[in-house]
Amino acid sequence: MHRWRLAFGLGLILICVSWASWRWQPVAAQNPEDDDQPPAVEQPLCFSSTGFCINGAFRRYWETNGGLSQFGYPITAEIRETTSNGIFTVQYFERARFEYHPEHSRQFEVQLGRLGAELYRIGHERETARAGCRYFERTGFNVCEPFRTKWETVGTTPGATSLEIYGLPISPLLVGRDPAGNPISFQWFERGRMELHQTNLVVLGLVGVEYRQREQEPRPTPTPTIPVVPTQAPIEPTAIPTAVLPIPINVPFPDRPCHINVPAPIEGIQAWATLPVVSPPEDEVICVRLIVNGEAAHPAFVNIYRYIGNERIPGTGHTTGLDGTASFVFHVRDLPIGTIPVEVVATFEGREYRTWTSFIHR
């Protein structure tokens, strides 16, 4: 009897303690502005190189849509900023601006800012559709290789489409120079800029860095008006330097066989193998294109030299056609196995242009 009373008493005590602990459990404070912040994850992703972290929805978007190679490092923390669409929580990366839109479903809660359109506002005439390129009627510009492949093969999750990552093209293919003075070709899109460097590597422009630098530039302060005092001699006007605008590339798409593996056109000389790896009975075709001042160089004289060991063997020279290209055929069966380096020399209007390419005989 005593044992039954003891067990009943202990059970009653446990029930009372459990009810009390549940009744007095603290509730997290609610902040009315929390709905406008990207939801947190267990661990933020931090980078010692810039000292900033990525958290919540921004981290998920960054990791599933290209990460470092696509967006670069974060260069700010999450901040509240007024954009063209309203006031949002944003975070800047080297190549993009992430915006948090809580009014949308989770699939579309992170969107990229239109930094390309905000940075580049030069108007260009509409283009006509070109063979081998993707034409966008809405803006009137083509996207050609290798930018076309870059534009079309992006996004790994629903909602992360090419339009949402890059947007539409807002310029033709342009020619300029990188900070080191090397010529590059590039094209602006609504949300960024694609660049083709001399290494034939397509990279994304640092539009996030450029936008932040522009916003942080000191604004000129107004100066008081000083009355003009006439002088005996007229004051010579000071010349105002004009901005050097990019030169649009205006060349036709190469004819056969140079339409295969053709790179995006850039100012200067280009050479490419139509078949990077080739085996008999196929023959290799090396194509050369020369662009001067944005136009196809015609007629330019081009010769090539293949290297077998230390021996430099010249080919038969050709002149470029109306598209600025010339092609050279290699009979692969007559060549040794391995990599075949090819030197290219072109002459146009008294100036010489040189470049290299290669292919693999397997």
Neighbouring residues of 130: CB distance < 8 A, sequence distance ≥ 6: 142, 144, 252, 253
Confirm whether pTM is higher than 0.85.
Answer: no
The answer to whether the beta carbons of residues 321 and 360 sit under 8 Å apart is no
Phi-psi region of 350 (alpha: psi -120 to 50; beta: other; left: phi over 0): left
- Look at residues 347, 262, 263, 292 and name the one whose alpha carbon lies nearest to residue 175: 292
Residue type at 301? F
pLDDT value for 264? 83
CA pair distance 14, 36, nearest whole angstrom: 42
The pLDDT tens digits of the residues spanning 42-63 come to 688 999 989 999 999 999 999 8
CA pair distance 354, 288, nearest whole angstrom: 10
pLDDT value for 171? 93
CA pair distance 319, 326, nearest whole angstrom: 6
Instruction: List the pLDDT tens digit at each of the 362 positions of the chain.
Output: 555 555 556 556 555 545 444 444 443 334 444 556 676 656 889 999 899 999 999 999 998 888 888 999 999 999 999 877 778 899 999 999 999 988 887 888 899 999 999 999 888 889 999 888 899 999 999 998 889 888 988 754 555 789 999 999 999 988 877 777 777 889 999 999 999 887 677 889 999 999 999 877 665 555 444 444 444 444 444 444 444 456 778 888 888 888 888 888 888 899 999 888 888 888 899 999 999 988 999 999 999 998 887 788 888 889 999 999 999 999 888 888 888 899 999 999 989 999 888 888 88
pLDDT value for 10? 58
The answer to whether the beta carbons of residues 321 and 336 sit under 8 Å apart is no
Q: Which helix (H) or strand (E) holds 10?
A: helix 2-23
pLDDT value for 165? 93
pLDDT value for 111? 92
CA pair distance 78, 92, nearest whole angstrom: 8
pLDDT value for 124? 87
Between the alpha carbon of residue 326 and those of residues 173, 297, 352, the distances in Å are 22, 11, 16
What's the residue count for the chain? 362
pLDDT value for 114? 93
